[in-house]
Amino acid sequence: MPSPTSNSLTHRLVDRHLAFGLACVFAGTVAIHLTLWQGDNQMIAGAVAVPLGVLLVGGWMLRNVTRVPGSIEGQLRNLAEQTAVPLQPLKESGPVAAGWNSLLSRLNRHDAAHSLADRLTEAFCQSGGSRWEAAFMNLPDGFAITNESGTIEACNPALLRVLRLPSDQAITGRNLQHLLQQWTGETDNPALQQLAQSSCKITCELRCGSTTAEGVLRVARCGIADSQDSGTSQGLVWNIRDNTQQRLSEEMRNEFVFTATHELRTPLANIKAYAETLTLDMDLDIEKQKGFFNIINAEATRLARFIDELLDVSQMESGSMGVVRHETDLERLLQEVFEHVQPQARKQQLELESVLPPKLPKVQADKDKLAAAMVNLLGNAIKYTPQGGQVRLKVEQDKQYVHLQVEDTGIGIHEDEISRIGEKFFRCHDERIQDIPGSGLGVAFAQEVARLHGGKLSIRSQLNEGSQFTLSLPAAREAS
């Protein structure tokens, strides 16, 4: 195989043209010596003219051969001295000129691509970059970028909110792990120790205090890979989310499952026991039989009410709960509700009072759902009021709303828990209510019914003194 330089310019000049010219000069010199020896003047002139002609033809051929390489060499020298000098294509023919022109075409396409990339990058930085920054600053989760040791280099405002820090506090340059430790109030937290001992990808949960309500954070951390795929990390990105409400919801669901099991088991056990007694004891007198049948009926009603609550929860969860409004006689509806809860009040030995104005307006409402909401509110008032207490149903009206108020002299609600009373499955942590059956759904249902009617449910309560639940419905517009 010939060497890469076998067709080089030097090889061609020396091997072809220069060697040929030297041969011609040598031949001319020999001819001159012969003619001088013979003394022929004409031959001397010819011997001199032939080498000169060969040299002229060789020079012309050499000039043609070196024109293209010389042009290329000149452009490259200019490019080395002045980088802004553009390279020019060659007009000559031949493989060298064609190769040079092809190379320039490729370089021009490469430069055009780089120019387009630069323009796109500049446009992104001017417009898109600001959009990404705006999105980062408005994310609901806390985000931070730190170095390997956890020192904060950038963060969004949500991080301050999640860590319960003042919104104007500057935390750039502080250690994020120290801030998390400050939030938990612990120095020996296993999750924090794991974060400190390694910079690898990790997801963990941190708790503030002994109860879920005090705060739960989900912390996710991963490395920022080098853009050159060198395997080295360029820092850490952190995502910190407040999971308190999610964990509270899970706890309330677990409590609800426990309560639901009790709510189902107790009436079923009573129904089974009294039904077996009625079946096996044929000598029971009529009065006892009636009493047993009444108990079975009451327990079946209790089961049906609980199942209705479960269906209501399902509709509230899916957002499919709706109301069908009709003109409703409010006075008659409240009388029916009052009569429905009277047996429960008598059993609890409570004073149940109804305070209604002489004339109640008609309202546009879903009668069944409004009645169920009022039964829930009155039932709760009776359930959480000790024996000898009082429960009152009142109705007030203004230009905008009709207010249905349920007042009691019961155990009341701690001020820290009032805002959570309307949450599904939530029950107060007061030890006095732990043995009182309940699903934590009644108030949530009443609140949803009020919302669907365009009204609201407001709660006022004082621990150990009593509570007031007010379901407000929009007043009917008078026909003009």
pLDDT tens figures, 149-161: 888 888 999 999 9
Residue 396: pLDDT above 80? Answer: yes
The domain spanning residue 229 has which CATH number? 3.30.450.20
Say yes or no: 313 and 208 in one domain: no
Say yes or no: 305 and 422 in one domain: no
Say yes or no: 351 and 383 in one domain: yes
Residues 6+ apart with CB under 8 A from 330: 360, 361, 362, 363, 365, 395, 402
Quote the pTM value: 0.49
Q: Identify the domain boundary among 317, 345, 377.
A: 317
- Residue 28 and residue 51 in contact, taking contact as beta carbons nearer than 8 Å: yes
Say yes or no: 454 and 353 in one domain: yes
Say yes or no: 312 and 326 in one domain: no
Look at residue 4 and tell me if it is in a domain.
Answer: no
Say yes or no: 345 and 467 in one domain: yes
Phi-psi group of 154: left, alpha or beta (phi > 0 → left; psi -120 to 50 → alpha; rest → beta): beta
Residue 44: pLDDT above 50? Answer: yes
Say yes or no: 374 and 464 in one domain: yes
Look at residue 286 and tell me if it is in a domain.
Answer: yes
Say yes or no: 252 and 237 in one domain: no
List helix spans (H) across 198-282. 244-280
The SS3 call for residue 222 is: strand
The domain spanning residue 291 has which CATH number? 1.10.287.130
Phi-psi group of 47: left, alpha or beta (phi > 0 → left; psi -120 to 50 → alpha; rest → beta): alpha
Look at residue 181 and tell me if it is in a domain.
Answer: yes
Residue 258: pLDDT above 70? Answer: yes
Say yes or no: 373 and 469 in one domain: yes
What are the Cα distances from residue 476, in Å, to 334, 335, 366? Answer: 17, 20, 14
Say yes or no: 357 and 395 in one domain: yes
* Domain residue limits at 196: 139-242
pLDDT value of position 43: 55
Say yes or no: 458 and 341 in one domain: yes
Mean pLDDT of 407-431: 82
Q: Which of the four pLDDT bands, split at 50, 70 and 90, describes residue 241? A: very high
Segment 85-114, tens digit of pLDDT? 777 787 777 777 788 777 777 777 656 555
Say yes or no: 226 and 266 in one domain: no
The domain spanning residue 470 has which CATH number? 3.30.565.10
Alpha-carbon span 28 to 37, nearest angstrom: 14
User: What is the number of structural domains in the chain?
Assistant: 4
